[in-house]
Amino acid sequence: MTGIDQKTDKPARRKASKEVRRGQLIEATITSIAARGFAATTMADVADGAGLSRGIVNFHFESKEKLLAETLRFMSAAYEANWREALRTAAPGPAQKLWALVKSDFDRSVCNQRTIAAWFALRVEAQSRPTYRRISRRPDDAFLGAIVDLCRDLIADGGYDADAGKLAAGLDAMLEGMWLSILMDPDRMSRRRGLASVSQYLTCVFPRHFSNEGPLDTN
């Protein structure tokens, strides 16, 4: 996909330029949605934000709808890549992995005002358009599935009396709710506080695997 290869770098440059432009426009879209809201974001805003002319978006994307769909797809992919990488590089053991997953949700790269604002604006608005719903549905299912698996492992390992599905659904909801709190009331809720709250719950639910400072070395 990168194109920094092959014998000639001419087509590479063209392709790169095209992808770079699309990236610029998607970034400008996110910025505009975060600043102005979804409803108030116009094609002119996006073009101006990217420092380009008015007709540029219809050239690189076909329409406003396609631009928004691609923006949502981009953000979903970035989110999924973040937690998958965290899971991949985590130390072995379900507690370490769950902790890595939770922590990744509060990474600055995905958990910041701009990203969260655009994220919810797109998802909530996408709610009324079936085509958009599918874009973020599958990644969501994968994330929840990962949590369910880890909860099941923890319950089996620690002999806890709890239902993995219920715990996973609750944790998933708490994480998304924390993003909302950070978005809506940044004075009260922050990445640090959010992580501390979730950590408190993990400590209560899986006391043999977690303390308030993180996962215990019970391997």
Partner DNA sequence: CCGATTGCTGAACGTCCGTTCAAAATGGAT
Partner DNA sequence: ATCCATTTTGAACGGACGTTCAGCAATCGG
The smaller minimum CB distance to its own copies, of residues 6 and 128, is found at 128
| 91 or 184: CB nearest its own copies | 184
Under rule CB under 7 A, residue 19 binds DNA: no
Q: How far is CA 4 from CA 17, 21, 25, 41, 185, in A?
A: 12, 16, 22, 34, 43
Given its own copies, DNA, none, residue 218, with its beta carbon under 5 to 8 Å by kind, binds none
Nearest-angstrom CA–CA distance, 194 and 108? 13
94 membership: H or E segment, kind and range? helix 94-105
Helix (H) or strand (E) holding 215: strand 214-215
The pair of structure tokens assigned to 58 is: 């219809």
Of residues 13, 48, 9, the one with CA closest to residue 28: 48
60 binds DNA (CB under 7 A): yes
The SS3 of residue 214 is strand
Question: Taking CB under 7 A as the rule, does residue 23 contact DNA?
Answer: no
**From DNA, its own copies, none, interface partner of 17 (C-beta below 5 to 8 A by class):** DNA
CA dihedral 158, 161, 162, 164 (to 10 degrees): 40
- 156 or 180: CB nearest its own copies: 180
Options 3, 64, 149, 203; binder of DNA; rule CB under 7 A: 64
**∠76-85-60 over CA atoms, to 5°?**
35
By C-beta, is 47 or 178 nearer to its own copies?
Answer: 178
Near DNA by CB under 7 A: residue from 1, 2, 4, 10: 10
- The distance of closest approach from Cβ of residue 125 to its own copies in the complex, given in angstroms and rounded to an integer, is 5
Q: How far apart are CA 91 and CA 191, in angstroms?
A: 22
Closer to its own copies by Cβ: residue 54 or 129: 129
Give the residues lining the site for its own copies (CB under 8 A): 34-40, 117, 120-121, 123-125, 127-129, 133, 137, 140, 144, 160, 162-163, 166-167, 169-170, 172-178, 180-181, 183-185, 188-189, 193-194, 196-201, 203-205
